[in-house]
């Protein structure tokens, strides 16, 4: 590529590391500062002011309606979205997470996970924290908390050694994370053909097939009250797990051979379950 690009990252570890990965393969590229204002309108202004050429942000945080003039030109591969509990061994009275002591203080990385955990383990004291893995681990080591729940990709990106702790990996049948978790999207000006061509080479079409489904489901419900995870299994069927927690935990699992209508079917199932619960 002839043009040397300036790439900015949102203020999160995955986006920052994604920019560093891109720059490591294109030595003439530059890491640009996103600035204090990180909304889409601010990003648009900075792109048109040529402060940077593209920006990497978590796809899970991007609104559905973009300001005119910018585009989600591609998405990264999906970094490991498994949801994991990391905690003190002393907080358990048995061999599984269900044996955690009543009143144990546990931090969750987002609201949809907390809502599901509250219903899965109603005896614990679960709170939301958006702090860094490093700071949360310090609190764990100081016995200020008994454990925390986060995504595996955040553990990987922070290089946390989990061997000294008790760990539990949740099945998507138990807890479902935020739609598009673990995916970075690349934003640029709609009219910047050079950058869009570059991003096209980064774009992971297989990832977008799943995240498009998840985001369609997300759009149909209140923010932070819907979890969705879609993937292609070993038989090449698409599986989706979803959880809607506006009043209680309404669950949905559905599978089919194509993505056609998958989001709409999931939305229908979840809304039917919610309606039944109020009869």
In terms of domains, do 26 and 150 share one?
A: no
Domain span at residue 119?
A: 83-170
Q: How much is the pLDDT for 33?
A: 83
CATH number for the domain harbouring residue 193: 3.40.190.10
25 shares its domain with 159: no
- Same domain for 68 and 188, yes or no, is yes
Q: Answer yes or no: do 89 and 159 share one domain.
A: yes
Kindly report the CA angle at 16 between 225 and 5, in degrees rounded to 5?
120
247 or 59, which is more confident: 59
CATH number at 258 reads 3.30.160
CB atoms closer than 10 angstroms to residue 250: 21
Same structural domain, 61 and 36: yes
Contact 167, 84 (CB under 8 A): yes
Examine residue 177 and state whether it is found in any structural domain, yes or no. Answer: no
Question: Do both 101 and 140 map to the same domain?
Answer: yes
List Cα–Cα distances, 111 to 8, 103, 126, 251, in angstroms.
Answer: 27, 19, 10, 16
Over the stretch 127-138, which tens digit does the pLDDT of each residue have? 999 999 999 999
Statement to judge: residues 63 and 90 lie in one domain: no
Residue 1 lies in a domain: no
pLDDT in tens, 162-214: 999 999 999 999 999 999 999 999 999 999 999 999 999 999 999 999 999 99
Q: Is residue 112 part of a domain?
A: yes
Question: How far, in Å, are 83, 89, 135, 182, 225 from residue 110 at the CA level?
Answer: 11, 23, 16, 13, 10
Count of the separate structural domains present in the chain: 3
**164 shares its domain with 101:** yes
Q: Is residue 137 part of a domain?
A: yes
Q: Is residue 276 scored above 80 in pLDDT?
A: no
pLDDT confidence bin for 141, thresholds 50/70/90: very high
**Which tens digits make up the pLDDT trace of 43-93?**
999 999 999 999 999 999 998 889 999 999 999 999 999 999 999 999 999
**Given this model, what pLDDT does residue 57 score?**
96
Examine the pLDDT at 278 and tell me if it is beyond 60.
Answer: no
Give yes or no: residues 37 and 106 share one domain: no
176 domain residue, yes or no:
no
Task: Assess whether 199 and 253 both reside in one domain.
Answer: no
Query: For 262-273, how does the pLDDT look when each residue is reduced to its tens digit (9 = 90+)?
Result: 999 999 999 887
Strand partners, 137: none
The answer to the question of residue 199 being in a domain is: yes
| Residue 208, in any domain of the structure | no
Question: Quick one: 19 and 147 in the same domain?
Answer: no
Q: Looking at the domain assignment, is residue 268 inside a domain?
A: yes
């Amino acid at each position: 590529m002839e043009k040397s690009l300036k790439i900015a990252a949102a203020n999160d570890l995955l986006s920052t590391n994604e920019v560093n990965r891109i720059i490591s393969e294109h030595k003439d590229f530059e890491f640009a500062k996103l600035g204090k204002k990180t909304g889409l309108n601010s990003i648009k202004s900075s792109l048109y002011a040529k402060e940077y050429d593209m920006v990497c942000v978590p796809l899970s945080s991007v609104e559905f309606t973009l300001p005119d003039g910018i585009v989600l030109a591609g998405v990264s591969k999906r970094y490991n979205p498994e949801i994991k509990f990391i905690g003190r061994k002393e907080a358990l009275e048995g061999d599984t997470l269900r044996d955690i002591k009543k009143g144990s203080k546990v931090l969750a990385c987002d609201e949809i996970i907390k809502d599901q955990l509250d219903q899965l383990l109603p005896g614990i004291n679960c709170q939301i924290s958006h702090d860094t893995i490093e700071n949360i681990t310090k609190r764990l080591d100081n016995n200020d908390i008994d454990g925390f729940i986060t995504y595996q990709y955040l553990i990987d990106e922070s290089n946390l050694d989990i061997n000294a702790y008790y760990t539990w990996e949740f099945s998507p049948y138990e807890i479902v994370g935020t739609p598009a978790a673990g995916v970075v999207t690349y934003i640029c000006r709609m009219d910047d053909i050079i950058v869009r061509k570059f991003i096209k080479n980064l774009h992971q079409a297989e990832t977008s097939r799943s995240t498009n489904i998840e985001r369609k489901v997300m759009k149909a419900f209140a923010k932070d009250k819907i979890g969705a995870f879609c993937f292609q299994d070993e038989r090449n069927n698409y599986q989706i797990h979803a959880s809607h927690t506006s009043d209680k935990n309404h669950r949905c699992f559905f599978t089919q051979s194509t993505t056609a209508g998958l989001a709409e079917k999931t939305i229908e199932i979840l809304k039917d379950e919610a309606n039944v619960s109020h009869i």
